[in-house]
Structure 1
Amino acid sequence: MHLLIKNAHVVGPEPFDGDLLTTDGVISALGHDLHAPAKTTVIDLKGATLMPGLVDVHVHFREPGFEAKETIKTGAQAAAHGGFTTVVAMPNLNPVPDNVDDLEHLIEKNHQDAKIHVRQFAAITAGLHSQKPTDYAGLRAAGALGFSNDGVGVQDAATMYQAMQGAAAVNAPIVAHIEDEGFKGDGVMNAGPKADELGLPGMSNLTETAQLARDLVLAEASGVHYHACHVSTATSVDLIRFAKARGVNVTAEVSPHHLLLADQDIPSDNAMYKMNPPLRSEKDRQALIAGLLDGTLDMIATDHAPHTAEEKTGSMVKASFGIVGSETAFALLYTHFVMTNIFTLEQLVNWMSTSPAEKFGLNAGHLLVGEPADFTAMDLCTPYSIDPKDWFSKGHNSPFIGEVVYGRTLYTIAGGRIAYKA
């Protein structure tokens, strides 16, 4: 099976204008005026941008257990629509993939229902909320990319240390939702002047930073690859920077919404702005940008978290935490950061593709001969308005609806096959 991409602006190690040929799911040639073998599908991009398929190491597909919010099929379609060819799904499901049988069933369902590559994290502890460790060796052998209790911080330090030792023994990462429930309380947004103005309960920065500091000490002692999810505070960036300088094997992600918005941007008691961790101060937002630019933060991950309309209606006090991001992340970041010369396109592609693939050992993120035929074609020149009517995700919970952006996905190719076509 052959696929020939003609007349592309190729973003890679050495950008060029030309063609790309795939054979049986692998990139077989890059160059100019490539000729198509017999029975080849030809796509003429007419100068549009071709980049490595985006990689998202933090999505919630909600199946099994919460199919009203999202399914594997709709979540994968949404990711393909956003330009993602590889995603890693979180285990806060029902049943939780905390045993080999449930994990194997889930991995098979991911494979059957998705046209992109969907990898899976297994749980750190049984049922997520317990202190009982899972079978790290068995789950790893069954296909778990790593271990996470995302949505729940591991509250007991000894449990987390035991988990780190178990994950390190099977060369797997611990992917941490960093949240000390003692500091979280009933907070629904960042503690500070804006929360006071809106009359809403605030969530202290210590909710994140106190547990992160603990975990970094434990990661150094255990030697595990420790990955910090959705970093949101300036202090967290400082802690990670210090840990990296000490040689701790830590990587970290930041979510698009924490780069784009601060708590001061919340206009009212609007549930679309409720997420966990919450939008922090403008000082924190600027520290996250600086952390990406200096290499302290390694990647951008969406934390795509769909909910039903009912769950995101009314006051932030009762609404669910989380927003969707798969179908808006690249366009929003390209518009707000690349077009304003804060980031380069190459940097954005690195943080959204190459770096997450490399840090998690995924065979993705490169447009090179011999690499998998996973890539995305983008129209970077034509503006459009973000409209959930165009989305595949069941979740429409986003504060960015109506915003005019650049960066529309034209094609998403995964394994040499078309996963999305505009």
Structure 2
Amino acid sequence: MTRLLVRGARILGGDPADLLVEDGLIRQVGALGAGADAPNGAEVIDADGLVALPGLVDLHVHLREPGREDAETIATGSAAAAAGGFTAVFAMANTSPVTDTAEAAERVFDLGRASGRVDVVPVGAVTKGLDGAELAELGLMARSRARVRVFSDDGRCVHDARLMRRALEYVKPFGGVISQHAQDPRLADAAACCHEGEVSGRLGLPGWPAVAEESIVARDVMLARHTGSRVHVAHVSTAGTVEVVRWAKAQGIAVTAEVTPHHLALTTDLLVGYDPVYKVNPPLRPQEDVEALRAGLADGTIDAVATDHAPHARHDKEHAFVDAAFGMLGLETALAVISDLMVRPGLLDWADVARVMSTTPARIGGLTDQGRALEVGAPANVTLIDPDRQVTVDAAASLSRSRNNPWHGRTLRGAVHTTILRGRVTHSIESTVMESAS
């Protein structure tokens, strides 16, 4: 029997309590007594001053394997995820080959299990080869060992309304969800790389209007109402999208939405230096959109925070802005950004963080053993956070294989201390510090 005792953690930011873990399950919650000895053979974590949350769950991650292991592997991405407090991540399908068959999904699933750091859950493609022409093997992927429940052509929009309707109808019987990259290609073509507005005009960059996102979201929520199926809006980036989602929820439509830390914090003004690290899809937006996203997350219109962790090798990112690859890293910094941006100003409390970064993402993705309350009998998936610890981000120190980190040089307050997956420590700041010292 393996035992772990977490002493004095503030569960969801509340009063201190002890968590006793045995064989991967939480066996006791509550004070064992100040003078009580730890059970025989138990590893002890002193969590005085730390906040305990259910292990974080990321609905939107690019791990690049198979096909682009020069940018990231499932092993390196899993290490970065564990360092960020995550115990489960959903790996997007735009790999090479595309995850559009049961065999491809099972390969990602098996590689994730071999890594041992986090539960890697494959996302299946909606269409074969992400080409937007023919549905992929949705049913076979759902029935495979990988048990795929989230489907997305992320990076490309399922822009054909008839095909999107068919996909929604197909996944409904087994409780699947379509995660849509909302970008009408007729309004924002492949050259678009900057929010359409004053900055794009001044910099001479091809613009992407907000309506390219909002029009697809409006169409998709109506298709979800028509089919009675579930649609999930990936990386919401505009105030108009927030309003569409808010309206749809008021109508009882089965829509959920996610927002990235970078869209909550960074604005299009950062593009004035043409630094390609800030090139992301969808693009950074003006301050008024950022404010609407924060308000939408705070009031529950937006359901989840997802990183859209998108590692790129230097030879793909270090180009002129218009030629550089889209995307930025996010796994290791997400919790700190949300702590600094949303918790410290009082927009969210730690129970809210558990909701938007663990419980709700797990529910949306159909994970029954993740996002559970820290209570007796639950799997011991736990993230311990030091809410007062300041961290200055160093891109070179990332556990990811890539370095396209938009937070480099920024100081954030609130850091992951320890990550525990089914009772086993997968990351600890104390061991990291010791390793660095050695």
Identify the TM-score tier after normalising by the shorter chain.
Answer: over 0.9
Q: Secondary structure at the match of 1:407?
A: strand
- Per the TM alignment, residue 264 of structure 1 is displaced from its structure 2 partner at its CA by 2.5
* Cross-structure match for 2:284: 279
* Cross-structure match for 1:207: 212
TM-score, length basis structure 2: 0.93
2:32 equivalent to 1:26: no
- Distance, in Å, in 2 between the alignment partners of 1:101 and 1:378 is 37
Residue of structure 2 aligned with 1:149, choices 142, 149, 153? 153
- Per the TM alignment, residue 345 of structure 1 is displaced from its structure 2 partner at its CA by 2.7
Contact kept, 8 Å, 1:232 with 1:258, in 2: the verdict is yes
Residues 13-412 of structure 1 aligned to structure 2 (within 5 Å)? 15-33=14-32, 35-142=37-144, 143-185=147-189, 186-362=191-367, 363-365=369-371, 366-412=373-419
Query: Which deviates further from its counterpart, 37-46 or 83-92?
Result: 37-46
Q: Deviations along 1:156-198, whole A, 9 cap, x unmatched?
A: 1111111111011222111111111111121111000111222
Q: Deviations along 1:32-90, whole A, 9 cap, x unmatched?
A: 12653322111112322222211111000000011111000000100000111111111
Structure 2 letter corresponding to 1:77:
A
Q: Secondary structure at the match of 2:40?
A: coil
- Distance, in Å, in 2 between the alignment partners of 1:47 and 1:285 is 31
2:426 equivalent to 1:419: yes
- Distance, in Å, in 1 between the alignment partners of 2:350 and 2:9 is 15
| Runs of 4+ with >3 A deviation | none
Structure 1 letter corresponding to 2:18:
D
Structure 2 letter corresponding to 1:287:
A
- Distance, in Å, in 2 between the alignment partners of 1:49 and 1:240 is 31
- Per the TM alignment, residue 21 of structure 1 is displaced from its structure 2 partner at its CA by 0.7
Counting aligned pairs with the same residue, the percent is: 39
Query: Which deviates further from its counterpart, 346-355 or 192-201?
Result: 346-355
Q: Secondary structure at the match of 2:20?
A: strand
- Per the TM alignment, residue 323 of structure 1 is displaced from its structure 2 partner at its CA by 0.5
Structure 2 letter corresponding to 1:5:
V
Q: Deviations along 1:349-399, whole A, 9 cap, x unmatched?
A: 321112212333322222111111011112222222101232100121122
- RMSD of aligned alpha carbons: 1.5
Q: Secondary structure at the match of 2:10?
A: strand
- Distance, in Å, in 1 between the alignment partners of 2:323 and 2:137 is 36
Q: Which runs of 5+ in 2 are unaligned?
A: 430-438
Contact kept, 8 Å, 1:270 with 1:314, in 2: the verdict is no
- Per the TM alignment, residue 145 of structure 1 is displaced from its structure 2 partner at its CA by 2.5
- Distance, in Å, in 2 between the alignment partners of 1:348 and 1:390 is 26
TM-score, length basis structure 1: 0.96
Contact kept, 8 Å, 2:54 with 2:383, in 1: the verdict is yes
- Distance, in Å, in 2 between the alignment partners of 1:334 and 1:37 is 34
Q: Deviations along 1:320-365, whole A, 9 cap, x unmatched?
A: 0010000011111211222222332332232111221233332222
Contact kept, 8 Å, 1:254 with 1:299, in 2: the verdict is yes
Distance 1:72 1:114, change over 3 A: farther
Structure 2 letter corresponding to 1:199:
G
Structure 1 letter corresponding to 2:140:
G
Query: Which deviates further from its counterpart, 207-216 or 246-255?
Result: 207-216
- Distance, in Å, in 2 between the alignment partners of 1:137 and 1:308 is 34
* Cross-structure match for 2:6: 5
* Cross-structure match for 2:433: none
- Distance, in Å, in 2 between the alignment partners of 1:101 and 1:347 is 37
